[in-house]
Structure 1
């Protein structure tokens, strides 16, 4: 699988012998049960909800709790040195629609990421990836980034987690994601987005209108809608 290194190496001293000893002791004596099962790996892009010019490649490692709920830890790469940059919770449409109106403003729609081919599951055979994407159809994510480490195509960001967490969103039109950001990921990870779209065209008949699709339209007035991605409130 192609490797995506983190754009940032945090400052600090080299690992001490004491730290190495603690790590070895922990591995021998402690259980890391809560980390088991975070083995569904997908890569996509996140813009900040309130400042969508802030965009990042996000590597999700997810655990399926049940058919309606997934939990994901987010990294800025897929190597041992990758930095933990946030979390994402994913709920089914059924769960999302039970949330209070005030809460639903935090949850972004996923149909564009699936049908548009920007969300990928590296290493999975095409049929297995399609099955995973079918499960994500009509779902919603609540994503907080605690660290903006930058982009591999433009350079590093903050050396440490600074400021308040940022609520992130999803792209929902062609032309909203910075083409350079996506191209860099696609070339490095051998992603053919046109082929992904074609392979997922059979999911179109499952698509329901979703809330939040039009949220970034004002920031990206030249964005182009795609079939199957429709705002529930406006029908566009």
Structure 2
């Protein structure tokens, strides 16, 4: 594979003029209803369940499936070119909608589906269309649903308390939204996410330099305390510089977000628990 050309960090030749023309034509006439429902961008770090020393950043682009389910496409970057590293479905999607920031945003001309998808920022776009469920998936479920899972199934899931309370989990802020308005909206989202259990698989091991999505999907975990992530300040700090944010600030303003009761019960975060590191 080393002898193959590399384009956009993936093995293969640059896109031909023919394919670019076909892409433009298809985008003009085809229906992209499922991706039109994407309405939120979340960023966090995951650890490989079978090797917790490996961490990777993931950008989640999410949409409602119903009132309790969201689906997320995971990319390695928020800008083009970006590789899909996982595809996810989450439960209890955030209740933040356009109404929370409508007073601070000016209406913009309607963009094409393709442009809107590529330049996605966290804003709501509600329709009545039915969204297909992509696989493999990331899931986030409520404690009630988590309690119905078998003990062995629970081991595949993780909590989000540390992600939220540490300031690691963010909704990247659009430039047009004032800090105070976005902080309020983001905290409302965090109040939802902190209660949930997640299940996620990554398809492309970009952290080891793979030029193609090789091997089987990898189960990923989140973190339950800072000691599990020795590179936290370095890696999250570097991420924050790119997004113009601060995990320290977010940690401070999220002190009032309540930690759900019994979050450590069951077999969630099992990769840490079985090693005595949870």
Distance 1:202 1:82 in 2: 35
Query: 1:183 offset after TM fit, Å?
Result: 2.2
1:110 aligns with 2:160: yes
Superposition misfits of 4+ residues, deviation over 6 angstroms: none
| 1:158-177 matched pairs, under 5 angstroms | 158-177=210-229
Query: 1:68 offset after TM fit, Å?
Result: 2.5
| 1:36-55 matched pairs, under 5 angstroms | 36-55=36-55
Task: Considering fraction of residues, name the structure with more helix.
Answer: 2
| 1:76-155 matched pairs, under 5 angstroms | 76-87=76-87, 88-123=138-173, 125-150=182-207
Consecutive unaligned residues of structure 1, counting only runs of 5 or more, are 1-7, 151-155, 222-230, 232-236
| 1:216-227 matched pairs, under 5 angstroms | 216=272
Contact in 2 for aligned 1:172/1:214 (Cα 8 Å): no
Distance 1:143 1:38 in 2: 18
Consecutive unaligned residues of structure 2, counting only runs of 5 or more, are 1-7, 88-137, 175-181
TM-score by length of 2: 0.69
Matched residue of 2:222: which SS?
coil
Aligned residues: 210
Partner residue of 1:188 out of 213, 231, 242: 242
Cα 1:164–1:96 change in 2 (3 A) is same
Contact in 2 for aligned 1:71/1:90 (Cα 8 Å): no
Cα 1:24–1:111 change in 2 (3 A) is same
The one-character-per-residue Cα deviations of 1:80-110 (angstroms, maximum 9, x if unpaired) are 2111000222222222222222222111111
Query: 1:207 offset after TM fit, Å?
Result: 4.9
Cα 1:207–1:43 change in 2 (3 A) is farther
Query: 1:115 offset after TM fit, Å?
Result: 1.4
Contact in 2 for aligned 1:69/1:92 (Cα 8 Å): no
Distance 1:205 1:56 in 2: 25
Matched residue of 2:57: which SS?
strand
Cα 1:164–1:205 change in 2 (3 A) is closer
Cα 1:162–1:220 change in 2 (3 A) is farther
Contact in 2 for aligned 1:73/1:84 (Cα 8 Å): yes
